[in-house]
Structure 1
């Protein structure tokens, strides 16, 4: 199965996100996310391209309100047509809470979004816990792969 093309854009100004590094992390994480498909009809199995856009809290809150009826900022929103929105502002706050850099949190949210496209859902406690373990493992492997190049 060919890997989808990742198109990553930065549409916020407050944080400098290293897009080339994030692209390499995303490419390295894709095989693990594809291996974790929940079903053969999950969007990730057939998408030729995935668009990832880094935004600020105001933008993600607007989309969250428009599409999910919750006008508050969130970390990541994934659309099954292959679009992932990531809030750099939320990544900054959560990174501080978890002792991680904003770059690491954004990369984690990227893997999280890819797992949503692989059919994972984090609304149930047990699946959320399993998804969190899986995304941490995939991210760890992707970072190792990128660092070894």
Structure 2
């Protein structure tokens, strides 16, 4: 991934399921995030990237109704989405949107949620997906990190 040495201190990943509509394996999603963390920190675009200095990253899985409120309040778009990243170290995941995306991409909701965590961590590492080329590069990186984390989980 990167020739950077592993960081001395990795941010702690805190994950809370704050909804009851979709059943998620919170332990699995948290573990994938933890295993992805060193790769995401190593992928920081600069020393100023938020992930380079955070002590923790809090992930909340919420209902689509809740994430739509957050999306509207902070991004002037009152629609549900899969993941919102705040640079102070908070990721908000939309449960029903993730479940729908999992069907579209033919994977489990747990894998899709874990992939959203990796996506959010890369945003904290300074990655952006607003332009097509950036989005493609970020998607490749997040898939590679996700696969590395899954492989590490299987071998543990």
Q: Cα distance, 1:72 vs. partner?
A: 0.4
Q: What TM-score does the superposition give when structure 1 sets the normalisation length?
A: 0.98
Q: Cα distance, 1:17 vs. partner?
A: 1.0
How many angstroms apart in 1 are the aligned matches of 2:116 and 2:73?
Answer: 21
Which of 76, 80, 85 is 1:73 aligned to? 80
SS in 2 for 1:84: strand
The ranges of structure 1 where at least 4 consecutive aligned residues each deviate by more than 6 angstroms after the TM superposition are none
Which blocks of at least 5 consecutive residues in structure 2 are unaligned?
A: 1-7
Corresponding position: 1:137 with 2:144:
yes
How many angstroms apart in 1 are the aligned matches of 2:43 and 2:11?
Answer: 15
Q: Report the RMSD for the aligned CA atoms in angstroms.
A: 0.7
How many angstroms apart in 2 are the aligned matches of 1:93 and 1:15?
Answer: 11
Contact 2:67 2:93 in 1 (8 A): yes
2:67 aligned residue: 60
Which of 94, 104, 108 is 1:87 aligned to? 94
Q: Cα distance, 1:18 vs. partner?
A: 1.1
Alignment of 1:1-149 (within 5 A): 1-149=8-156
Q: What TM-score does the superposition give when structure 2 sets the normalisation length?
A: 0.94
SS in 2 for 1:6: strand
Which blocks of at least 5 consecutive residues in structure 1 are unaligned?
A: none
How many angstroms apart in 2 are the aligned matches of 1:86 and 1:140?
Answer: 20
